Structure 1
């Protein structure tokens, strides 16, 4: 597997226990993309996701599907499976994945976070010739 020497961090801050939001609640997530850093936040759930990868912003801008293309259920299901596989690989030595992703299946993160996480995991798989399914 080709090694990439990019600085990459995906951090979920302040996930408050098992607090869940119903799917009927408004998604108040905000996204900010600049200089290779993608920041997603939702003040209602008190979390923040930061992706720092110089190649992701360019790839995302040229390869993403438009918002609304995927349903929230599709994104959540795909992210659950991919994060589970990601975390299993992260626990293996020399897998090339140095950290786990704290993704709680009981928390509704909203469309924006699931949309961005899906595309990041898709990007990482394509750039690193990795299969998470």
Structure 2
């Protein structure tokens, strides 16, 4: 099982274990739920990736301000996530220039791996939330929400 974790409480990271791809049909049965407070977790035995997002306010922001699922195409989300994660990782490597409390850990997000719609949707929306909440600009124009 491949595990991706996105822990955010003024820090972020995705940790991956094994290498194995899967098709998007498994993603249709992903369970997305608020676990405890503002913790969002996607977990399913049939899916190779788990995402956990912990950040005060993100769950309510996601439910009230994010565009609904399937508003964006999977290709759009993947393209944006690649660019956001690249810039995020660049900032992690420059702690003298960027706030260490915001960019503590690198995110291991690979372009060739199919993470599925739900994983990409949550990562994308977290990046939008993060940029708006902490007044950061990772790549291009940040959608105001």
State TM-score, norm by structure 1.
0.82
3-state SS of paired residue (1:70) = coil
Unaligned runs of at least 5 residues, structure 1 = 1-5
Q: Which structure 2 residues correspond to residues 13-24 of structure 1 after superposition, within 5 A? A: 13-17=15-19, 19-23=20-24
How many aligned residue pairs are there?
A: 126
Tell me the residue number matched to 1:81: 83
Give the Cα separation in 2 of the matches to 1:114 and 1:98. 21
Unaligned runs of at least 5 residues, structure 2 = 1-7, 140-145
Please report how far the alpha carbon of residue 101 of structure 1 lies from its aligned counterpart in structure 2 after TM superposition. 0.9
3-state SS of paired residue (2:50) = strand
Which stretch shifts more, 70-79 or 33-42?
Answer: 33-42
* Equivalent pair of 2:11/2:104 in contact (CA under 8 Å): no
CA RMSD in angstroms, aligned pairs only:
2.0
User: 1:84-106 CA deviation, whole Å, 9 max, x = no partner?
Assistant: 11111111114121111111211
Q: Which structure 2 residues correspond to residues 31-110 of structure 1 after superposition, within 5 A? A: 31-34=32-35, 35-94=37-96, 95-96=98-99, 97-110=103-116
